[in-house]
Chain A
Amino acid sequence: MNDSLRHVWTIAKRELGGYFNSPVAYVFIVIFLLLNGFFTFMLGYYFERGQASLAEPFFSWHPWLYLFLVPAVGMRLWAEERRSGTLELLLTMPIEPWQAIVAKFLASWIFLGIALALTFPVVITTAYLGDPDVGTVFSGYLGSFLLAGAYLGVTEMMSALTRNQIIAFIISVVAGSFIIHCGREPVTNLMNGWAPERLVDLVKSFSTWYHFLAFQRGVVDIRDLLYFGSVIGFSLFTTSVVLRGVRGA
């Protein structure tokens, strides 16, 4: 394994261990699964629909679930390092800062992936009751995972801005609401009257909402993949800029 990968892996392993060594992981997973069940079966009218599809009753809730739960997972990433002073320890190790940034991101993303994977009973239920389209289920999961990654990137960046986890959480939720709402009707309606259509489309294209919608419908479009990739890439890059400032550059 080359040095960069080894550093990323060493840091990511520590971060992941950090989740599972504390009650955080278990509390999070239980709440995530409970809420998923509640939304799908109670609010999503899963049974009443009579359709062997996960898009509407299951995946459509994820943007709202992640809005709060992803910041809860990611808020400590840098805020905690800054508060406890371990940031100094970490960044004086013989590593490049980007390795730590990517490692932390990956660790939390893997953790979110594990939580998401644990929703498999809903897939089994659907397969038992009907005949769902495997491709759509797969693309839905892929989209959900990417969506979690996008929120996580934003959260990691916000977490680097402060040494207080609560503040990191709140500003992450606000930033997350922003990137989801900018493509939804309340915002687009406000703009429709006066703004040129191209501007409205531009603002819409920044929203996670429509990009995720495509995945829910079973469409894996390279443009949507690029969108999520660039949101993640941009937030990690911004994190590195913020950290440079924290170090007093």
Chain B
Amino acid sequence: MITVENLVKEFGSKRAVNGVSFTVQRGEVLGFLGPNGAGKSTTMRMITGYMPPTAGRVLVGGHDVAEKPIAAKRLLGYLPESAPSYPDMTVHGFLSWAAEMRGLTGAARVDAIRRVSTLCFLDNVLQQSVDTLSKGYRHRTCLAQALIHDPDVLVLDEPTDGLDPNQKHEVRQLIKNMGRNKVIIFSTHILEEVEACCSRAIIIDRGQIVANGTPSELKARSELSGTVTLRVHGVAAETVRGKLANVAAAGKVTVDGDTAYVNARVFPRNRAISGELANAIARVVAQEGWSFDELHTEEGRLDDVFRSITMPDTAKSGA
């Protein structure tokens, strides 16, 4: 549905986007991650046809955005980064305008406005002027505009920015639900969001894609992925370390804490998430008769992966 090929964007001598390629199929929700200034927004602007690329091309539903911009833009709904809207209009007026721009008139327009205002919880503010609204409402007004023509492709630049936790949750649900039969690309800084609603995530840094995979694939790249943490009490730290190090599947073992509570982390000898290591450790705990209150296998943390990928110099100290 969306194909991005070797996309390059230069601003003067600065390369903001440097050879980005990926494809997204219908039914996928693609999370776009990266530090500030990594080129996320620039890439999205090129996908939506706002910015012409310096090199490379973007196909939306088979239409080259540079050559057939109108056909491509018809398929797209776009929420720009700052969620802009016209402050002098009412929410209803603004949505009505957006509908008309999308070629919706008469009953179709009325239906579309009703549908998106329910989806984005705008029913109570339809007659209010946009400049009297709080940030959350303004944000959702712009989101509603992106959904007005029920587009096949949604490009959302930080869709949950500035929303309160409840609203964030609602918007994530919305993205997840719509993602079943659309293509959604959204950018975010919030890593839980990627786990909550993406089927795939791309991490972009300094204009290049540095990781591309499902959230669990990405998490598996974390150093902590597959490690087992254990918390026992009433045993000396060194004893715990000694016993755990003897487990066949165990690699490095770290412990901290005193006799009251010992936190141990056991790294697997070969990195793979399986219950094997945790099982072996559970047997040790049972044999020794330690009392414990925590034992679990880490899936890995996206923020570790994110940090280690996007800040190669300092990642080690954080892990």
A10: CB under 8 A from chain B?
Answer: yes
Q: What CA separation (Å) do A21 and B88 show in the bound complex?
A: 7
Residues 1-37 of A contacting B (Cβ, < 8 Å): 3, 6-7, 10-11, 14, 17-18, 21-22
Q: State which of A6, A85, A248 has its C-beta within 8 Å of the C-beta of B11.
A: A248
A201: CB under 8 A from chain B?
Answer: no
Given contacts A85-B80, A86-B84, A248-B52, whether A93 and B101 have CB atoms under 8 Å apart is yes
B169: CB under 8 A from chain A?
Answer: no
Q: State which of B9, B84, B87, B93 has its C-beta within 8 Å of the C-beta of A88.
A: B84
Docked-complex contact A94 and B84, CB < 8 angstroms: no
Which of B48, B51, B81, B101: most chain A CB closer than 10 A? B101
A114: CB under 8 A from chain B?
Answer: no
* In the complex, per-residue mask of B1-38: 1 if CB is within 8 Å of any chain A CB, else 0: 00000000101000000000000000000000000000
Docked-complex contact B45 and A88, CB < 8 angstroms: yes
Q: What CA separation (Å) do A96 and B68 show in the bound complex?
A: 11
Given contacts A88-B80, A92-B78, A247-B52, whether A22 and B100 have CB atoms under 8 Å apart is no
Chain A proximity of B142: nearest CB distance (Å): 8
Chain B proximity of A56: nearest CB distance (Å): 40
**Chain A residues, Cβ within 8 Å of B93:** 17
Chain A proximity of B230: nearest CB distance (Å): 51
Chain B proximity of A160: nearest CB distance (Å): 15
Q: What CA separation (Å) do A31 and B314 show in the bound complex?
A: 63
Which of A3, A94, A244: most chain B CB closer than 10 A? A94
Q: What CA separation (Å) do A91 and B52 show in the bound complex?
A: 12
**Chain B residues, Cβ within 8 Å of A14:** 86, 89, 97
Q: What CA separation (Å) do A17 and B96 show in the bound complex?
A: 13
A125: CB under 8 A from chain B?
Answer: no
Chain A proximity of B226: nearest CB distance (Å): 43
Nearest residue, chain A, Cβ from B51? A248
Docked-complex contact B70 and A96, CB < 8 angstroms: yes
**Chain A residues, Cβ within 8 Å of B173:** none
Nearest residue, chain A, Cβ from B142? A89
Docked-complex contact A92 and B49, CB < 8 angstroms: yes
Docked-complex contact B88 and A84, CB < 8 angstroms: no
A249: CB under 8 A from chain B?
Answer: yes
Q: State which of B49, B85, B87, B101 has its C-beta within 8 Å of the C-beta of A10.
A: B101
B74: CB under 8 A from chain A?
Answer: yes
A95: CB under 8 A from chain B?
Answer: yes
Q: What CA separation (Å) do A95 and B101 show in the bound complex?
A: 8
Docked-complex contact A93 and B9, CB < 8 angstroms: no
Query: For chain A, what secondary structure do more than half of its interface residues adopt (helix, strand, loop), or is it mixed?
Result: helix
Nearest residue, chain B, Cβ from A7? B101
Docked-complex contact B9 and A86, CB < 8 angstroms: no
Q: State which of A88, A93, A249 has its C-beta within 8 Å of the C-beta of B102.
A: A93
Docked-complex contact B89 and A89, CB < 8 angstroms: no
Nearest residue, chain B, Cβ from A95? B101
Docked-complex contact B89 and A17, CB < 8 angstroms: yes
**Chain B residues, Cβ within 8 Å of A94:** 70, 73-74, 101-103
Docked-complex contact B52 and A85, CB < 8 angstroms: no
Nearest residue, chain A, Cβ from B82? A85
Q: State which of B9, B85, B88 has its C-beta within 8 Å of the C-beta of A22.
A: B88
Q: What CA separation (Å) do A7 and B76 show in the bound complex?
A: 17
Chain A proximity of B51: nearest CB distance (Å): 5
Chain B proximity of A76: nearest CB distance (Å): 11
Nearest residue, chain B, Cβ from A10? B100
Docked-complex contact B11 and A10, CB < 8 angstroms: no
**Chain B residues, Cβ within 8 Å of A95:** 70, 73, 101
On B, residues with C-beta under 8 Å from A are 9, 11, 45, 48-52, 70, 73-74, 76, 78, 80-82, 84-89, 93, 97-98, 100-103, 142, 145
18 CB contacts below 8 A, A to B, read A6-B100, A10-B97, A10-B101, A17-B89, A22-B88, A86-B86, A89-B142, A92-B49, A92-B50, A93-B98, A94-B102, A94-B103, A95-B73, A247-B52, A248-B9, A248-B45, A248-B52, A249-B52
Apart from A94-B73, A94-B74, A95-B73, list 15 A-B contacts with CB within 8 A. Answer: A3-B103, A6-B103, A14-B89, A14-B97, A21-B89, A84-B86, A88-B84, A89-B142, A91-B49, A92-B76, A93-B101, A94-B70, A96-B70, A248-B9, A248-B11
In the A-B complex, the 7 residue pairs with the smallest Cβ-Cβ separation, listed nearest first, are A85-B84, A94-B73, A88-B80, A86-B84, A93-B101, A94-B74, A248-B51
On A, residues with C-beta under 8 Å from B are 3, 6-7, 10-11, 14, 17-18, 21-22, 84-86, 88-89, 91-96, 244, 247-249
